Amino acid sequence: MNTFARAASKLASAIIVGFALLTAGMTAASAQTGTPHVMLQLKDGTVDIELLPALAPKHVERIVALTEQGFYNGIVFHRVIDGFMAQTGDPTGTGAGGSDLPDVVAEFNAEPYVRGTVGAARTADPDTFNSQFFITFADASFLNNQYTVFGKVVAGMEFVDNITKGEPPANPDKIIAATIEYR
């Protein structure tokens, strides 16, 4: 092979490698386009929660970050009130814990609390959301404009209904695994 052919061959190889790297980068980036969904694997099946970044971008950002860190894997539902809601997200299982990240300021919005709404748990101070959240079993309009809505269950609500009730439950159910998918 002459010098010109070798140079052309190296250039062609570099172009192919560069294109492959570019395509891989585009694939990774495109995997994060669309609407984020938190997939909670529970004892009875998977709950698909569509996150709502247009309503509460900072809350969604926090949930995505913690989920991607594996924070929610193994976390229990420490407060489950029949007919009202199931709360999780506290690594201590007591309702008093959270992540090491700073709290998030409330992002109240007009989205109503209906069956399957996902909201930010907090203290009496509205700007104390950290990692805990709850899923409503039924309409809870008394929460409207009091707690930030950042998601809704779009599949698997029957698995939420099966979470063991109690404050705290004697044998609390847990999130087996939590992952993020974009659609």
In the Cβ-directed half-sphere of 127, how many Cα atoms lie within 13 Å? 2
* Residues 56, 109 contacting (CB under 8 angstroms): yes
Could you list the beta-strand ranges (E) of 42-129.
46-51, 77-81, 85-88, 117-120
pTM of the model as a whole: 0.83
| One-letter amino acid for residue 68 of the chain | E
Write out pLDDT tens, residues 108-124: 999 999 999 999 999 99
Q: In what order do the strands lie in the sheet with 36-41?
A: 77-81, 85-88, 133-136, 117-120, 149-155, 46-51, 36-41, 177-182
The residues pairing with 181 across neighbouring beta strands, listed in sequence order, are: 37
What is the Cα–Cα distance from 171 to 175, expressed in whole angstroms? 13
What is the Cα–Cα distance from 71 to 73, expressed in whole angstroms? 6
Q: Is pLDDT of 5 > 50? A: no
Write out pLDDT tens, residues 8-41: 445 444 444 444 444 444 334 445 789 999 999 9
- The mean pLDDT value of the chain amounts to 89
Q: What is the pLDDT of residue 2?
A: 55
